[in-house]
Amino acid sequence: MLSYCNVSLFSICLLTSALFLVVGCADPSQPGAEDKRPDFDRLQVFSMNEQFRISSFGSDEFFSSVSYAAAGADGTIFVSDDRGSKIYMFGQKGDYKGYLGGVGSGPGEFRQIGHVSLLTPDTLQVVDWRNDRITFFAVKDESWTAVRYLDRPRGSRDYGSDIFFNFNSLIPIDGGYLARFKSSFTPVDTSMHSIDYFTFVDYNLKPLDDREYFWHVASDAVVERVTTPGGGSVSMMTIPEGRRTLSTMTADGRLVSSWTADNRITIRDISGEDSTSFSFPSKRMAITETEKNEMAVQHIPDPGQSRISRDRLTEKIPDYRGFARQLVMDDRGYIWVLVRPFEEDDPEWLVYSKQGELIAAAPHPGGNVTQIKDDRMYVIFTSMDDEPAFGVYELQ
């Protein structure tokens, strides 16, 4: 008879062997393979296959503008038309399902949509600047409907109620929300264009007295200042003048920032302390097309180094420097950095793990990416060269 110790040892060995087989048999070519490590000679690449695109002149419902597109927990795709004061709804295949809102001040209506986002996968939040309220939509009786309203807080704290008009989004936390604003509020005497301002509020948008606020410069600036929650210390640092910064807040309360001064990405938790910092390449990630119409990528470590194109001809890659144009964190926690070259080359997406490992690269389909979920990329097109539209791309 086997003793308890022998049985435990046997079980551990069996489990280890099974785990080895599972990991060893994983297909490293699959985008979700966790054991995939960045290899610049064989870097994993996502191709972009457009599933569908719906434009202002190509569907039964005519957009006057498009400012947001993202999928909820049930797969419904929400598309915000700020000028029309409507949130259009589509299925995962692009089928039209109806709309939320409409012009007015009644329940579920909007007069001026200021911001739209998914508070949680099954809750949509819409900031109405002219009606001075936030409307929350959720599934009720198998359809999306308005389930809660919050009026603008008045006279709260010392920054005044007008800061509500720069409201950007809410992030759920214990006991309330972490509220994000775009504000011109400037606690130091210096020139700043825009600021990401964060404060802790309860479920009625009233500031939590036992929590401090912090803010983060999100544009060309000279000084960054962070006041940590709970009365923590204040830190300041110099940013080279004229350098661009970019930031996005994740659902778990982390601020992801890009600094073009040294091509670095910084991930900061809501305590205000840096948790992770890593560089993205300043040299070109060359994406080329192979004979099989698949995307192939090769890292160019030094300027002027040769690479072999698909027709086996050698060409030179010039010195490459760019800046992060957009930051998006997908539902798996990967950080997508849209690197735009200073030259005429097309922007490229670089995909990193939370630890700063370069996982993959991908071509940029154009437009502005608003969500990456379930290996699908949701893109809105709002430039002067494009008619208002949104598109859905599959990552392969």
Q: What angle do CA 219, 118, 56 make, to 5 degrees?
A: 85
Q: Is residue 158 part of a domain?
A: yes
- One-character DSSP codes across 48-81: EEEEEEEETTSSSS--S---EEEE-TTSPEEEEE
Domain assignment present for 359: no
At residue 319, the pLDDT reads 37
- Residue 152's pLDDT band, with cuts at 50, 70 and 90, is low
Cα separation, 157 vs 199, in Å, equals 11
Q: Would residue 336 count as lying in a domain? A: no
pLDDT at 88: 93
The verdict on residue 234 lying in a domain is yes
Residue 80 CA to residue 126 CA, distance in Å, equals 9
Please tell me which of 56-65, 234-243, 304-313, 328-337 the model is most confident about, judged by mean pLDDT. Answer: 328-337
User: What confidence score (pLDDT) does residue 264 get?
Assistant: 65
Among the residue ranges 107-121, 179-193, 344-358, 375-389, the one predicted with the least confidence is 179-193
Specify the higher pLDDT residue, 26 or 71: 71
Residue 169 has pLDDT above 70, yes or no: no
Report if residue 182 sits inside a domain: yes
Q: In this predicted model, which residue has the larger pLDDT, 131 or 69?
A: 69
367 pLDDT band, cuts 50/70/90, is: confident
Does pLDDT of 93 surpass 50? yes
CA 260 to chain centre: 18
Q: Which of 96, 125, 123 is nearest to 110 (CA)?
A: 125
Question: What CA–CA distance (Å, rounded) separates 262 from 280?
Answer: 9
More confident residue, 307 or 339: 339
The pLDDT of residue 318 is 36
Contact 265, 280 (CB under 8 A): yes
Task: Give the number of other CB atoms < 10 A from CB of residue 191.
Answer: 10
pLDDT band at 203 (very low <50, low <70, confident <90, very high): confident
Q: Which residue has the higher pLDDT, 324 or 374?
A: 374
More confident residue, 98 or 209: 98
**Domain boundaries, position 172:** 152-279
- Is 361 inside a domain boundary? no
Listed in sequence order, the residues at least 6 apart from 351 whose beta carbon sits closer than 8 Å to its beta carbon are 46, 334, 335, 336, 337, 358, 359, 360, 361, 362
Question: Has residue 235 been placed in a domain?
Answer: yes
| pLDDT at residue 46, as a whole number | 81
Q: Quick one: pLDDT at residue 100?
A: 94
Whether the full predicted model's pTM is greater than 0.85, yes or no, is no
Sheet of 123-128: strand order equals 113-120, 123-128, 133-140, 143-151
User: Looking at the predicted structure, is the pLDDT value of residue 380 above 80?
Assistant: yes
Average pLDDT over residues 274-300: 46
pLDDT at position 137:
92
Q: Give the DSSP per-residue string, 162-203.
A: GGGGGEEEEEEETTEEEEEEEE---SSSS--S-EEEEEEE-T
| pLDDT tens digit sequence for 226-284 | 444 444 333 333 334 344 456 665 655 566 666 555 566 666 665 555 566 666 554 44
CA nearest to 100, candidates 71, 135, 131, 133: 135
Lowest mean pLDDT among 34-48, 207-221, 353-367: 207-221
Lowest mean pLDDT among 186-200, 217-231, 268-282: 217-231
More confident residue, 276 or 382: 382
Q: What is residue 242's DSSP assignment?
A: T
d(CA 331, CA 385): 30
Q: 3-class SS at 321?
A: coil
The number of domains in the chain is 1
For residue 225, what are the β-bridge partners?
Answer: 236
User: Is 338's pLDDT higher than 90?
Assistant: no
Residue-wise pLDDT for 57-92, tens only, equals 665 666 788 889 999 999 999 999 888 889 999 999
SS3 track for 260-298: CCCCEEEEEECCCCEEEEEECCCCCEEEEECCCCCEEEE
Cα separation, 241 vs 25, in Å, equals 51
pLDDT exceeds cutoff 90 at 163:
no
Mean of pLDDT values over 185-211: 55
What is the mean pLDDT of the segment spanning 157-179?
A: 57
What local confidence, expressed as pLDDT, does residue 99 receive?
92
Residue 49 placed within a domain: no
Mean pLDDT of all residues in 10-16: 37
Residue 174's CB: how many other CB atoms inside 10 A?
4
SS3 assignment, position 26: coil
Confidence of residue 366 (pLDDT cuts 50, 70, 90): confident
What confidence tens digit (pLDDT) does each residue in 101-130 have? 999 999 899 988 888 888 888 989 898 878
Query: What CA–CA distance (Å, rounded) separates 327 from 250?
Result: 10
CA distance 241 to 54: 41
Average pLDDT for the chain: 64
| pLDDT band per the 50, 70, 90 thresholds, residue 145 | very high
